[in-house]
Each structure stands twice: as C-alpha cells, then as structure tokens.
C-alpha cells in the first residue's frame, strides 16, 4: 500500500528563519511527487512536480528536492505570506494519487 508521511505536523518560524518540510514515501512505481500549497478555506494550489531522484525545482523562496525515499521543501527567508498548509502527494504508475496529512506552516513577523 502506498504511504506518504509528512513532518513536522506544524512548524512555526520567525520571518527570515529558513527551514525544511519533509515528505517520506513508500510507493510501488513512483511516477511523480507533487507539492501543493493550501490556504485556509481554499483548495490546494499546485507548486511543484518532481519525477526522479536528484531533481530540484525552485519558485521564489521555495525549493523542492527529491530522493528515492523522501522529498524536502526548503523555505529560505520565509515571509508571513508563506503561512499555509503544504501538502505532498505521490502519483504512481497505476495512476493513483496519495496525499500526506500536510504540514501547517506559520511565519511570524
């Protein structure tokens, strides 16, 4: 059974304090790993897709990396507007998507 585990469950940072979110996965046949951002009361918004180990993607203060067992979402010098829940999902060769529980990030000014 495909499993996705995100840690920590919640993360509180001061503005400018860099950190990383983790997404560990166990799947049979990874086709892609996705990061989404979800603001309260809204639907998830796509951030990145990673397809193979060693791949990295960047967008503003966010950088996503992928290994054969996990993915990290690095946040450099975060701002309060980066506060949101970040969801990780794996997409398999069987065409199935499995989501993690998410990490809720709060950035204090």
Partner 1 sequence: ETGVTQTPRHLVMGMTNKKSLKCEQHLGHNAMYWYKQSAKKPLELMFVYNFKEQTENNSVPSRFSPECPNSSHLFLHLHTLQPEDSALYLCASSQDGGRNTGELFFGEGSRLTVL
List residues binding partner 1 (CB under 8 A). Answer: 4, 31-32, 34, 36, 41-46, 49, 87, 89, 91, 95, 97-102
Q: In 85-104, which positions are buried (b, 16+ CB within 10 angstroms) versus exposed (e)?
A: bbbbbbbbeeeeebebebbb
CB of 27 to partner 1, least distance (A): 12
Q: What pairs with residue 13 in β-bridges?
A: 107
Q: What pairs with residue 37 in β-bridges?
A: 45, 86
CB of 43 to partner 1, least distance (A): 3
CB of 31 to partner 1, least distance (A): 6
């Amino acid at each position: 059974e495909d499993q996705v585990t995100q840690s920590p469950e919640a993360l509180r940072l001061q503005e400018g304090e860099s950190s990383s979110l983790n997404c560990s996965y166990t799947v049979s046949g990874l086709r892609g790993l996705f990061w989404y951002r979800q603001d309260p009361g809204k639907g998830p918004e796509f951030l990145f897709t990673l397809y193979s180990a060693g791949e990295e993607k960047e967008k503003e203060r966010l950088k996503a990396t992928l290994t054969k067992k996990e993915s990290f979402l690095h946040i450099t010098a975060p701002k309060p507007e980066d506060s949101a829940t970040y969801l990780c999902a794996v997409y398999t060769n069987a065409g199935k998507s499995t989501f993690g529980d998410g990490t809720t990030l709060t950035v204090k000014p």
